[in-house]
């Protein structure tokens, strides 16, 4: 069973994860550990839940006193022995659970993380493997074996963009580690080759040697080869609806929407069980087709402007209705509730958008974006104190000044600006100006403040 996210796990497991994540937010770490551990016992492949559990472990450890830490560490010996015994009997799931109990007591315990590394290799859980290897590498930055292990795990993941990013981050943190610098260069080179479509010919198939590939082989050729292989495989596995959906997605990528929807229609006809992932893939295909058609029109051209505007309206109406249907069909899928809120917000239905985002903020993956949207909704309704509250709540949970935080800081500054608190507004705009002078109009706002 490969690693899965919240869209692929069962409803009971997802509810335990959402409740556990909520407990982490409320700093009820003991209950969070209990709920998230229960979710992982039911589905050890749930990577997002494992990361939420890791966050709860770290937070509890940070807030524990010295005596409490010593008492907790004393309990790890038993679980370490059990974990090693489980590994020796090839009971990898059992080893993972004992390792998590070790990390609940001591989240930086190297022995516990090595158990996870070894079990994850056997289970083919690359993301879990990488998360523990990264922590081990931080603790032992000069360990070349760890660098080699991490590079191999990143290749196993198959996400070369992430592989390159992780290795780049490690190389920046360890500029004097020549072995690591070379590993980063190797990973970057492989990522470049992969993005050009030369290394991996087809998903799940045999890889061809680079030297045998034609010099003019393009990414379009790679896509065609991949589709051909997957369609051949589908002939042997006619009930593999996920494979059919993956083929449809590849046709969307090729902008062959007619062929893509033939596959989607076939899946809907044959598959009688509701599947949120399939419904989402179909919605994404429709949106991609609308966006493609819009790109064919020039809104600046008087002969095409009306058609462009009409198509935007048609897209918005269609996608809003589609989101409403999915949100009703899958009431526990909070990502659909968040998506519905976005389309309602675009449509100007602020009240209904507020209702959707209030539900969606209980989703760990969409909480901060939901708080940001709620702040914008309250701002539009003139509820400035509530808008400030939403933005401040989101900013308390966000440390790095990435695009998401810039957006919340910017909107918070706009609230202060609108109610005449110019000093507070300028403080927000300056914090963005210091790291990104080109963000929106913060440069003109800050510089006009000095003038």
CA distances from 239 to 249, 259, 267 (A): 17, 19, 9
* Residue 12, pLDDT score: 82
Q: What is the Cα–Cα distance from 120 to 22, expressed in whole angstroms? A: 27
* Residue 274, pLDDT score: 74
End-to-end CA distance of the chain: 62
In DSSP terms, which residues pair with 46 in a beta bridge? 4
CA distances from 383 to 266, 380, 414 (A): 49, 8, 13
Per-residue pLDDT tens digits for 217-256: 455 666 777 788 888 888 888 888 888 998 998 899 889 9
- Helix, strand, coil shares, percent, the chain, to 5: 75, 0, 25
* Residue 156, pLDDT score: 65
Phi, psi of 46 (to 5 degrees): -80, 90
For each of the chain's 451 residues, which pLDDT tens digit applies?
578 888 777 778 888 888 888 888 788 888 889 999 999 998 899 988 998 898 888 888 887 766 666 666 666 788 888 989 989 988 989 999 999 999 988 888 889 999 998 998 888 888 888 888 888 877 777 777 777 777 777 766 666 666 666 677 666 666 666 766 776 677 666 666 555 543 444 444 444 444 444 444 455 666 777 788 888 888 888 888 888 998 998 899 889 999 999 999 999 988 877 788 889 999 999 999 999 999 999 999 999 999 999 999 999 999 999 999 999 988 878 889 999 999 999 999 999 999 999 999 887 778 889 999 999 999 999 999 999 999 999 998 877 788 889 999 999 999 999 999 999 999 999 999 998 898 989 999 998 877 6
Q: Which residues of 150-178 are buried (b: 16+ CB within 10 A; e: fewer)?
A: bbebbbbbebbeebbebbeebbeebeebe
Long-range contacts of 25-28 (CB under 8 A, 24+ apart): 25/367, 25/397, 27/59, 27/63
* Residue 423, pLDDT score: 92
* Residue 306, pLDDT score: 93
Q: What is the Cα–Cα distance from 252 to 248, expressed in whole angstroms? A: 6
Q: What is the Cα–Cα distance from 164 to 102, expressed in whole angstroms? A: 31
Dihedral in degrees, nearest 10, Cα atoms 78, 84, 90, 92: 70
Q: What is the Cα–Cα distance from 66 to 70, expressed in whole angstroms? A: 6
Per-residue pLDDT tens digits for 30-76: 888 999 999 999 889 998 899 889 888 888 888 776 666 666 666 67
* Residue 427, pLDDT score: 93
Q: What is the Cα–Cα distance from 336 to 14, expressed in whole angstroms? A: 14
Please indicate, yes or no, whether the overall pTM of this predicted structure exceeds 0.85. no
CB 215 within 8 A of CB 206: no
Q: What is the Cα–Cα distance from 428 to 395, expressed in whole angstroms? A: 11
In DSSP terms, which residues pair with 389 in a beta bridge? none
What SS3 string covers 208-239?
CCHHHCCCCCCHHHHHHHHHHHHHHHHHHCCC
CB 377 within 8 A of CB 357: yes
Single out the residue of 35, 10, 13, 9 nearest to residue 22, CA to CA.
35
* Six token digits for residue 203: 């998903």
H-only helix segments in 26-125:
29-42, 47-63, 66-73, 76-88, 92-105, 110-123
Neighbours of 217 (CB within 10 A): 16
CB 445 within 8 A of CB 429: yes
Q: Where are the domains of the chain?
A: 140-200
């Amino acid at each position: 069973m490969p690693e899965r996210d919240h869209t692929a796990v069962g409803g009971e497991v997802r509810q335990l994860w959402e409740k556990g994540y909520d407990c982490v937010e409320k700093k009820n770490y003991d209950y969070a550990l209990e709920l998230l551990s229960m979710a992982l016992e039911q589905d050890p492949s749930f990577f997002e839940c494992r990361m939420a559990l890791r966050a709860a472990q770290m937070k509890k450890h940070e807030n524990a006193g010295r005596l409490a830490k010593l008492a907790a560490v004393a309990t790890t010996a038993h679980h370490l022995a059990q974990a090693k015994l489980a590994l020796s009997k090839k009971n990898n799931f059992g080893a993972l659970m004992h390792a998590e109990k070790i990390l609940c007591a001591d989240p930086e315990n190297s022995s516990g993380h090595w158990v996870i590394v070894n079990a994850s290799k056997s289970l083919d859980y690359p993301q879990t493997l990488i998360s523990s290897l990264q922590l081990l590498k931080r603790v032992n930055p000069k360990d070349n074996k760890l660098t080699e292990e991490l590079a191999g795990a990143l290749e196993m993941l198959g996400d070369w963009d992430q592989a390159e990013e992780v290795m780049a981050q490690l190389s920046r943190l360890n500029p004097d580690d020549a072995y690591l610098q070379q590993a980063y260069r190797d990973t970057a080179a492989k990522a470049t080759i992969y993005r050009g479509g030369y290394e991996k010919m087809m998903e799940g198939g045999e890889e061809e040697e680079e030297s045998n590939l034609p010099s003019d082989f393009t990414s379009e050729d790679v896509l065609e080869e991949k589709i051909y292989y997957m369609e051949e495989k589908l002939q042997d596995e006619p009930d593999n609806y996920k494979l059919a959906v993956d083929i449809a997605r590849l046709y969307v990528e090729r902008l062959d929407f007619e062929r893509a929807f033939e596959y989607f229609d076939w899946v809907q006809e044959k598959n009688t069980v509701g599947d949120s992932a399939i419904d989402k893939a179909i919605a994404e295909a429709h949106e991609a087709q609308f966006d493609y058609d819009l790109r064919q029109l020039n809104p600046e051209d008087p002969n095409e402007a009306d058609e462009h505007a009409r198509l935007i309206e048609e897209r918005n109406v269609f996608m809003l209705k589609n989101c409403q249907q999915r949100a009703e069909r899958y009431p526990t899928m909070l990502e659909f509730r968040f998506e519905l809120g976005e389309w309602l917000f675009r449509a100007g239905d602020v009240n209904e958008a507020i209702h959707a985002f209030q539900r969606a903020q209980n989703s760990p993956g969409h909480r901060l974006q939901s708080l940001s949207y709620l702040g914008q909704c309250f701002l539009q309704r003139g509820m400035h104190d509530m808008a400030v509250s939403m933005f401040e709540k989101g900013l308390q949970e966000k440390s790095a000044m990435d695009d998401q935080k810039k957006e919340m800081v910017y909107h918070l500054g706009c609230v202060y600006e609108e109610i005449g608190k110019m000093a507070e507004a300028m403080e927000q705009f300056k914090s963005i100006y210091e790291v990104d002078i080109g963000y929106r109009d913060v440069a003109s706002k800050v510089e006009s403040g000095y003038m």
